[in-house]
Amino acid sequence: MPSAPRLVVVVLFEGVDLLDVTGPPEVFALLRREVGDAAGHRVLLAAETPDPVTTSAGVRVLPDITFAELAGRNVDTLLVPGSVEVDGTGRARALAHPAVVGRVKELAARSRRVASVCVGAHILAEAGLLDGRRATTHWSTAAQLAADHPAVEVDADPIFIRDGDVWTGAGISACLDLSLALVAEDCGEAVALRVARQLVMYLKRPSGQSQFSVPLAPLSATRRTEELRLYVGRNLAGRLSVADLAAQAHVSERQLTRIFKTELGTTPAAYIESARVEAARNQLESTDATLDRIASACGFNTTDTLIRAFRRTLDTTPTHYRNRFRSALSTP
């Protein structure tokens, strides 16, 4: 590791999301606790003025340095948090104030790598830093990012994405996963794992980990669809064909497909596979069951089918997932 400190700059501005600001510095603080001065990172909160910045939570944060004081200094890691406004219907819209965008563009030009946290991706996009790149953001503003910046390849599913020297993270707690990935790049996987244990996290989630979890899918519009979802969850080891579900709902197979597409935004087969993958993920995280047993319990029948489903939905294998995402309780 280098002897000179790695300067990590977190951009502050009025209305910034609080966890976006405090999450990454906590990871680097725990890194220092684990490896001492060998960590080599120095975190600074930078703002336009030295005055306290009021976050979206109403908590005021005191900057360490102003943007003017950073002039001429090289930055190792530039972290850009985000901010949203919510309209009368509860819909969130990401903000990218021109003054903040300008400062980020200036700092990015002399930064080794740039990372956005949550809806901070919108600021990077406004600065032109995501053009031609693949990027993610919080799922609630992904459509806005894609519409406002067609030159950006938006993928709302992963918890973080690295494209060259630019990283983008998904919403809220994913800032910790993104920060751990930065630590892993600098200090190695073993050190990042030690920091993750200090955070009492499920170790370090791979970037392909989805933002979504099947049980957390939005509630459907009708009681019938909710009953179908519950039926799927209770009968994962069964056959669960489209014909079976149609009979359960007392509708035709064609009508069942329309119901799933309209109310859940997917097909019956895709939903069933997602539910089975979710159940398998839970077992991989919390048990030592063999892949054969997990495949059977979750309705995949064979290990090969389980592996193909994981590659298709999570871009990883069950074994790799277990090694990277086992809960602290099941880790020796």
Q: How many helices (H) and strands (E) does the chain have?
A: 13, 13
The one-letter amino acid code at 54 reads: T
Whole-angstrom Cα distance, residue 284 to residue 324? 10
Please tell me which residue in 118, 175, 187, 298 is annotated as part of the active site.
Answer: 118
Cβ neighbours of residue 124 under 8 Å, at least 6 residues apart?
Answer: 80, 104, 108, 114, 116, 130, 135, 166, 168
Task: Locate 163 and state its tokens.
Answer: 């494209």
Q: Which residue carries 């600001």 as its tokens? A: 21
* 175 flagged as catalytic: no
With beta carbons less than 8 A apart as the criterion, state whether 105 and 69 touch.
no
Give the pairing type, strands 60-61 and 53-54: antiparallel
Q: What are phi and psi of 216, to 5 degrees?
A: -95, 10
Cβ neighbours of residue 9 under 8 Å, at least 6 residues apart?
Answer: 43, 44, 45, 46, 70, 75, 77, 78, 79, 107, 111
Question: What does 245-279 look like in DSSP terms, one character per residue?
Answer: HHHHHTS-HHHHHHHHHHHHSS-HHHHHHHHHHHH
For residue 158, the cross-strand partners are: 210
- Which residues form the catalytic set? 118
